[in-house]
Amino acid sequence: MTATTDCILTLDYEIFGNGLGDVRTDVVEPAHRILSLCNAHHAKMTIFFEVAEYWAFDRYDAPLRASLGYSPCEEMRKQATDAIAQGHDVQLHLHPQWIDAVYDGHAWQLNTSRWRLADLSDDPGNRGRMASITGLLHKGKSTLEDMIRPVKPDYECTCLRAGGFCAEPSRQIIAAMKALGLKGDSSVVKGYRKAVAATGATLVDYSHVTTGKTAWWTMEDDLTVEGEPGEHVLELSVSAEIQPYWKNLRWTTVRAALKRRQSERLGRADRSEAKKFSSVPSFRGGLKRALTSQAIMFDYCKLSSRDMLRRVQKHARCGGGPLVLIGHTKDFVNDRHFERFLARLGESGHVRFRSMSEVIRDMNGAPKTSVVCQNPR
C-alpha cells in the first residue's frame, strides 16, 4: 500500500429499534469504552446520534428518572458534548418509529408503521411539521446544533444516516436534505437487504446498487445512483463485502448476537410487536442466513481485529478514498479486538482516521473532476 486511505469510524448511538434495551447499559457505557480507546490511539469517531429516541427520553424524563434512577437524555447529551470536546464528531441518525413513542411506565410503545424515513409524507414548505421528512430532518439537525454549539460554536450537522439504513425511495429525502444543508448521507450499504422477520416484507434493498465506487455524488432522485460530481448529495456508503455469512462467523460475532438477544428479552412480557422487528433471527432464520451470501459490513463490533485489518488493507490497495466503518454501542463486547485493530491500523502509516464532517467538507470543496475511490476487485 502506498496511498493514504481516509478511514471514517462511525458509531450508531442508540438502544434497539423496537424500543427495548437500557440507555446506560447499551449506549452510554459501551460508547465510553469505545471513545476511550479511540482517544488512546488518536482515532476520530463519528457518533450517529439517534435524535428521535432522544426526544422521547426528554419528553418522559420525569417518569424515566423515577423508573431507572437516572436521566437517559441527560447522559446522552453529556456524552455527545464531551465527545465533541475530545475532538470527535456527532451527526444525525433517526428512526421515525420513535416520533410519537409512548412510555407506559415499564416499556416503550412505538409506531412501527413508521419504520422507514420514506414512510413519512413530505411538506417541503413546512419545516415545523414533525410527521414530514423535511420537518423531521429540520428538527434533528437543529437539535444537534443547539446541543453542540455551546461546546463548538462552528459545529454544523451535515450528514444523515437513516434508521435501519432505510433511505429508499430517496427522492423526497434528497430534496429535504438539500433544502436543509445536509450535504452528506451514509445510509447505503451495497448489497444489503433486510426484511421484516414476521412477514418477509422488504424494509430495504440495496442489492441493485451497481456503482463500483465507495462514495459518489447522487442523482436528484436516487441516493444509490451516481450523478454529476458536486451536485445533490454526497453518498459515503457503509463499507461492505458480499460473502457467505458463515465465512464471517467468529466468537466476536456470536457474542454480539447473544448480547442483543439478552437485551431484547428484557423489558416487557408482551413483546409480540417488538419481535416483528427483532434484530436477532430465530434458529431457523439464523441457519438460513448463515448459508446465504449477503453484505458483510466492515463492523468493528462483530468482526475480529484480523478480519477488519484484512478488509481495510484490501480496500487501501485500490489507492485511497473514504472507507466507512460501522459499529453499534449495543453490540460492543470485545474491547481487546477493537484496541488491537486501532493500534495495528495506526502503525501502518497508510490510513488516517478522519471524521465524517472533515471528509464531507473536503470532498464538497474538491474539483468537479475529482475521482472517488473504486472498490477493490
Q: pLDDT per residue over 233-290, tens digit each?
A: 999 999 999 876 656 665 556 555 555 555 555 544 344 444 555 555 554 555 555 5
Contacting residues for 154 by C-beta, under 8 A, at least 6 apart: none
8 Å CB contact between 73 and 147: no
Q: How confident is the model at residue 150, as a pLDDT?
A: 98
N-to-C CA span, the chain: 15
Q: Decide which of 23 and 256 is more confident.
A: 23
User: Cα 355 to chain center, whole Å?
Assistant: 14
State the pLDDT confidence band at 320, using cuts at 50, 70 and 90.
Answer: low
Long-range contact set of residues 260-263: C-beta below 8 Å, sequence gap at least 24: 260/16, 260/330, 260/331, 263/16, 263/20, 263/21, 263/22, 263/25, 263/26, 263/330
Q: What share of the chain is helix, strand, coil (3-state, %, to 5)?
A: 40, 20, 40
Looking at the predicted structure, is the pLDDT value of residue 72 above 90?
yes
**Residue-wise pLDDT tens digits, 186-243:** 999 999 999 876 677 889 999 999 888 899 999 999 999 999 988 899 999 999 998 7
C-alpha cell at position 42: 488518536
Whole-angstrom distance, CA of residue 59 vs CA of residue 351: 42
Q: Give the pLDDT band of residue 1 (cuts 50, 70, 90).
A: very low
We find that the CATH architecture of domain 5-364 is Alpha-Beta Barrel (3.20)
Least confident of 83-87, 243-247, 293-297, 365-369: 365-369
Tell whether pTM > 0.85: yes
